[in-house]
């Protein structure tokens, strides 16, 4: 009897938690997997952030992407900078839209040959705690 009461309470607890579960933040990007030396291509990044608001930052690291240079196309209200092999999109207040769409262009120099790796991190505050994806 006691065991069935605990099982029922556990099931109700799981149901309660699932009702208030916040969707996970999801980031997707679209762009070609290859670019020819001397050419450029446009990259789209979509941040499905749900309903949070506040400051946020997207940092793209070009340290292992010699010969590739990003330039701003659509920063979705952020300030864009590129220096020291880092592209930064910084929002003091990220747009209230559930999905934020950024676009930037990658320019490849004539000397850009071989595999390159661009890494990134999205940081934001959630109830005054720094979160990173």
pLDDT, position 12: 37
| 44-75 tens-digit pLDDT | 999 998 888 899 999 999 999 999 999 999 99
SS3 letters across the chain: CHHHHHHHHHHHHHHHHHHCCCCCCEEEEECCCCCCCCCEEEEEEEEECCCCCCCEEEEEEEEECCCEEEEEEECCCCEEEEECCEEEEEECCCCCCCEEEEEEEEEECCCCCCCCEEEEEEEEEECCEEEEC
| 67-117 tens-digit pLDDT | 999 999 999 999 999 999 999 999 999 999 999 999 999 999 999 999 999
Please, which pLDDT band fits residue 15 given cuts at 50, 70 and 90? very low
């Amino acid at each position: 009897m006691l065991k069935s009461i605990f099982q029922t309470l556990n099931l109700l607890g799981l149901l309660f938690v699932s009702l208030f579960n916040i969707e996970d933040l999801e980031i997707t990007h679209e762009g070609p997997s290859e670019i020819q030396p001397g050419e450029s291509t446009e990259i789209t990044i979509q941040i499905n952030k749900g309903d949070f608001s506040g400051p946020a930052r997207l940092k793209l690291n070009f340290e292992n992407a010699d010969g590739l240079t990003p330039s701003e196309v659509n920063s979705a209200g952020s300030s864009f900078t590129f220096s020291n092999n880092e592209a930064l999109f910084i929002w003091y207040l990220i747009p209230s839209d559930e999905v934020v769409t950024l676009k930037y262009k990658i320019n490849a120099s004539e000397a850009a040959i071989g595999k390159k790796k661009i890494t990134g991190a999205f940081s934001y505050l959630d109830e005054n705690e720094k979160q990173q994806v």
